[in-house]
Amino acid sequence: MRKGRLGAYITERDKALFDYLFLHKIATAEQIDRDVLHIAHPHHVHRRLKTLVTNRYLRVTTTLWNGKPRFAYYLSDAAFRRFISNRIQRQWAQLKSDAPDHDVVLVDLRKRFLNIKNVHHFITENAIEAELDCPDGFPVQPFLEMHCDGAIVYKSKGETFYFAVEYEATQKSKPRYEEHLTSYYIRNEIDGVVYIVTDPHIRTVLTKIDRSLSQDGKSKVFVGDIKHVLSSRKNLCFENCNKEVLHLE
């Protein structure tokens, strides 16, 4: 490990944390420890994060995670410039989340998808926008244009499929959904879009719009409930307007 210009000694694990926070935009201490630090005692996790905040590598805000208030951490501009910026293909970065409550759920969703054998990659919005951590063959441009919450690379029976992921915590207007779904249909490089919703009314709106848009009766829009998706006791599957089920495991 070595001492950084900003102060504090920076380890390889810290640098892995910086990558993780850039890709996710934000995460709670519990998520960070689960996915990156793997420190036995929560006190030591918070102490290390506090050190990185004090030395201006990280910044901290508050959010709701699993219905409870939590501190959440994101990358500082200085840490981004030093450890990330020279590795990205496109000079774009959103370091601070505009919607912390939304984005900390995406951290758990990525973890859930990556636990599935046939899901080989989950590419976050920041990874797509910056063209960092994108696997070979992944069609970056159409996903970039859609500004989706993420994308998965799914392999089954020798075939590779690219699905967009959208987490819908609040209902949007019907015209906005119509425009969004239409845009997915005209981008043939995107094999489908998985919507994960918090409210059954959102599912109803999406299903009705998709039924009118689906070309030749073939739907590429699949919807699942957030509680079902995050439950390790449930199979990860999504249903389209034709009652067809996309089984990812």
Of all residues in the chain, the percent with pLDDT exceeding 70 is 96
Pairwise CA distance, residues 163 & 122, whole Å: 10
One DSSP character per residue, 226-245 reads HHHHH-TTS--EEE-TTS-E
pLDDT digits (tens, 9 = 90+) for 45-71: 999 999 999 999 999 999 989 889 999
Residues paired with residue 28 on neighbouring β-strands, in sequence order: 72
Q: Which 3 state secondary structure label does DSSP give 180?
A: helix
Question: Which pLDDT tens digit goes with each residue over 195-231?
Answer: 999 999 999 999 999 999 997 789 999 999 999 999 9
Domains of the chain plus CATH, in order, are 2-97 (1.10.10.10), 107-247 (3.40.91)
pLDDT of residue 91: 67
Integer CA distances (angstroms), 247 to 217, 224, 234, 235, in order: 20, 11, 11, 8
CA-CA distance, 169 to 30, in Å (whole number)?
A: 21
Q: What single letter denotes the amino acid at residue 202?
A: I
pTM metric for this prediction: 0.93
**What is the per-residue pLDDT for 15?**
96
Q: Give the count of beta carbons closer than 10 Å to the beta carbon of residue 41.
A: 9
Q: How many C-beta neighbours within 10 Å does residue 48 have?
A: 21
DSSP per position, 129-149:
HHT-SPPTT--HHHHHHHT-S
Computed on alpha carbons and rounded to an integer, the radius of gyration of the chain in Å comes to 19
Question: What residue ranges in the chain does DSSP mark as E strands?
Answer: 2-3, 9-10, 27-28, 58-65, 68-75, 119-124, 150-156, 159-168, 192-197, 221-225, 237-239, 245-247
| pLDDT over threshold 50, residue 4 | no
Helix axes 12-24, 100-114, angle to 10 degrees: 110
The predicted-structure confidence for 73-129, as pLDDT tens digits, reads as follows 999 999 999 999 888 877 665 677 889 999 999 999 999 999 999 999 999 999 999
Report the distance separating Cα 237 and Cα 240, nearest Å: 10
